[in-house]
């Protein structure tokens, strides 16, 4: 997941939910804890 929308908070209870801070103009990052690359899905 790439959106920090509060509606997505419940997802983290059953699977990993990672987000980028689009309001800070961050569109991709590597999560320090998991090493996963998190990015914005430009197809939307």
Instruction: Write out the two tokens for 22.
Output: 């689009």
Question: Would you kindly state where each structural domain of the chain is located, as residue ranges?
Answer: 6-39
3-state secondary structure string across the chain: CCCCCHHHHHHHHCCCCCCCCHHHCCCEEECCCCCCEEECCCCC
Condensed to tens digits (0 to 9), the pLDDT of residues 1-36 reads: 446 677 777 766 677 778 888 888 888 899 999 899
Q: Which residues pair with 28 in a beta bridge?
A: 39
Question: What's residue 1's pLDDT?
Answer: 43
pTM above 0.75, yes or no: no
């Amino acid at each position: 997941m790439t959106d920090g929308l509060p509606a997505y908070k419940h997802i983290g209870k059953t699977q990993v939910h990672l987000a980028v801070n689009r309001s800070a103009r961050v569109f991709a990052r590597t999560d320090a804890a998991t090493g996963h690359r998190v990015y914005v899905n430009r197809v939307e």
